[in-house]
Chains A and B, each alone.
Chain A
Amino acid sequence: MSSSAGANGAPVKSTGLHVGEPAPGVKKVDPIIVADGIKRQFGGLTAVDVEHLEIPRGAITALIGPNGAGKTTLFNLLTGFDKPNEGTWTFDGQSISGVPAFRVARKGQVRTFQLTKALGLLTVLDNMKLGAKGQSGESLARALFPWFWRKEEEAIEERALDLLARFKLDGKKDDYAASLSGGQRKLLEMARALMSEPTLVMLDEPMAGVNPALTQSLLDHILNLKKEGMTVLFVEHDMHMVRHIADWVVVMAEGRVVAEGDPHEVMANPAVIDAYLGSHHDQDLGEPDTDVVTAIKELAHDDADESKH
């Protein structure tokens, strides 16, 4: 367990992030992202319709919701990978509405993908080096003359090796990224994102397809990001993980933010249960989705566990 763990083994949670009662669109003390009136329609379907949303700085925020709630679409919009029909949003006080993805990344808001995008036929080390920002050797004119960028390249390599060692991938540095396992690719993608020294790290389902042995180390890495002063926003289905590491939870359903709050309170919110089970969940409409029921039961169980401490 990392040193960010509290006395009882649970990570230290950031509190006092919001102003007033937790409700959808509640004001934050120090928001890093402020989004207003974001709407994205695919034909007749409104995938995202968020009136107001603030993401607190220096904390770990989870974005949860049932499949098709618009979480990834919102991610794509905030990172410039998709353009909304309407809406404005700022990052660190600067407007980044309509700014292309690569500029958003340069401002310090870096993302990973739900389907891991390791660059297969590049070595692990090259994957890492690619993450570094503002390399002069990446300009065509200077690329031809190594003496312009050799020193910088050495510094980048040192930083990359350091990060790889932290993520326990240093033994693989000369292998093609394609030879890594699914979980290792997730680690590599996260490490690569860190090479750009971001202020906000956006992780799209960091736990999807990761075997349980790696889960703990991934969780620790995410907690470490916060400890180093970065803000984390992640999409996740694994409620256990959300409860464990998130300081703040935003719940989406059918494109809207239906609830916000700290993880324990928000799970008990009727709007959240409605979002996952439908508003008629107490009426017998046949067999519900067993996965969701298990997840909810686990949560209730967790809550009971923790209240005993």
Chain B
Amino acid sequence: MSGLYEELKQQVAQERGVALATLVRSSSGQGIGAKLLVFPDKRFHGSFGFPELEARVVEDAEQAIWIGEPGTRLYTLGEETFEVFIEGFPPPPRLIIVGAGHIAIPLTTFARTLGYRVVVIDARAAFATRERFPHADELIVAWPDEVLVRMDLNPSTAVAILTHDPKFDEPSLKVVLSRPVGYVGAIGSRKTSQERNERLKQQGLTDEQLSRIHAPIGLNIGAKTPEEMALAIMAEIVASRYGKDRSAILDWSRK
């Protein structure tokens, strides 16, 4: 007993994200069944007995934490080949909604139904109330960027920025775009989004960072009511989680 199983269980229970790599085949027959437990900061426990192989597997396993799609990979080291089964255990997906307005209410319901943890943040106490958001996992009345900066924002996190107010939206975007979040969407027309991008660029954000913003937020399904807009946003979040861009969504020939 090396204790990796206990550690894996603990890491999963604490919703921190972890990957497990198992050596399932090797051309020499050596090391079969050996395991590495890989953490989000690329620390790992366990051993395969081949340091060079370990380094390469850790690299792939760290990515796999967030994808959560298990699979076997082939590695070649000189004459030897190895098959390693890598399994990611991402934390449960989480949606952070900045701005507790009328779209945020149905968005909270949809996200909860799809298994997301939902955090709603708004500085305006009149908006962020339990009466309006009975199903939110967390309801925080504070300046959104000050809350976001203290949160663990990882690839399992989606952020929908919905306040319509640059004094909340823009500082929030600056925090979120400096972290490896899985999805960032911001409300506003194409014109508003373009103007916002100009301002953020002047404040030092790069084109690469700005290109990560989904704006106008949501898929173009013709949404008119708050509920329909929430549906468009949630559908986009799901698509982005599975690596689909907007152009791939109606194309069944693309994976």
Bound pair (A, B): no
B binding-site residues for A, Cβ under 8 Å? none
A binding-site residues for B, Cβ under 8 Å? none
